[in-house]
Structure 1
């Protein structure tokens, strides 16, 4: 590269400005007019380490339910708890582990899942297993 500077060098230079790629034609030649690209402030984390956008509790629980179903191979029957935790979420999900006849004999489990504010699962474990007819002793 002419001048010996690569893209990483330019990113660290305080005077470097990002330019819109539409300012170049298909061959990569610079057009006559260069337009600076709109930038948002990087904040304390920098451009590469921005925090993902926080999701609503409903969206997070849907993502967690999908992940629990995939991990357990069982269809979740409902959410039993939801709380904020250090910028993320803790969700407890009830799952029917074993269906029996009559249904009062079903074996249920409660799984606790921790998710980021963006809905990505960070931890998952079964915390309780019980028979439906016995309730939460």
Structure 2
């Protein structure tokens, strides 16, 4: 997620931009001389889609993300990522209130929608 500048100091890549070294030929993509032409972006990988879903869901909800528990690609080309979230911390942690969120991420890695499923207690299979 964070890339390093030449000085070795961590810095974050701008939103939606590929990280350093992610281009196939290593050169900056600046059109081939004709105005208005844009280089085609590589397809968003499943790992990158999951990472973007986790970061953006956390920014919106401020809840602790526990894990990515599922994902699939939709017919529209978006990624549907299922994320397990701690809704409320309790002691002992087996009493934590959990929820699964369904997060939709588009081909650019932007969150385009999310919804929370039912809440359940940690360690209780099937919400019992």
TM-score class, shorter: 0.5 to 0.7
Give 1:128 shift: 2.1
Whether 1:122 aligns to 2:112 is yes
Bigger Rg over Cα: 1
Go from structure 1 to structure 2 and tell me whether the alpha carbon gap of 1:89 and 1:111 turns closer, same or farther (over 3 Å shift).
same
Name the residue aligned to 1:132.
Answer: 122
The residue aligned with 1:65 is 54
Find the aligned partners of 1:125 and 1:51 in 2 and give their Cα distance: 31
1:65–1:93 Cα contact (<8 Å) kept? yes
Question: Which residue in 1 is equivalent to 2:67?
Answer: 78
Q: Tell me the equivalent position of 1:38.
A: 32
**Aligned partner of residue 99 in structure 2, secondary structure:** strand
Q: Determine the C-alpha separation between the residues in 2 that align with 1:58 and 1:84.
A: 12
CA drift of 1:134 comes to 1.9
Distance, in Å, in 1 between the alignment partners of 2:105 and 2:55 is 12
Tell me, which stretches of 5 or more residues in structure 1 are unaligned? 1-36, 41-45
- Match for 1:111 among 82, 94, 101? 101
What is the alpha-carbon distance in structure 1 between the residues aligned to residue 44 and residue 81 of structure 2? 14
Q: Report how many aligned residue pairs link the two structures.
A: 95
TM-score (norm 1): 0.61
For residues 106-133 of structure 1, the C-alpha deviation after alignment (integer angstroms, 9 at most, x for no partner) is 1001000111122111111101211113
Q: CA deviation at 1:136?
A: 2.1
Q: Return 5+ residue gaps in structure 2 as ranges.
A: 1-30
Is the 1:111–1:125 contact (alpha carbons within 8 Å) kept by the matching residues of 2?
yes
TM-score (norm 2): 0.65
Instruction: Give the structure with the higher percent strand.
Output: 2
The ranges of structure 1 where at least 4 consecutive aligned residues each deviate by more than 6 angstroms after the TM superposition are none
Structure with more of its chain in helix, by fraction = 1
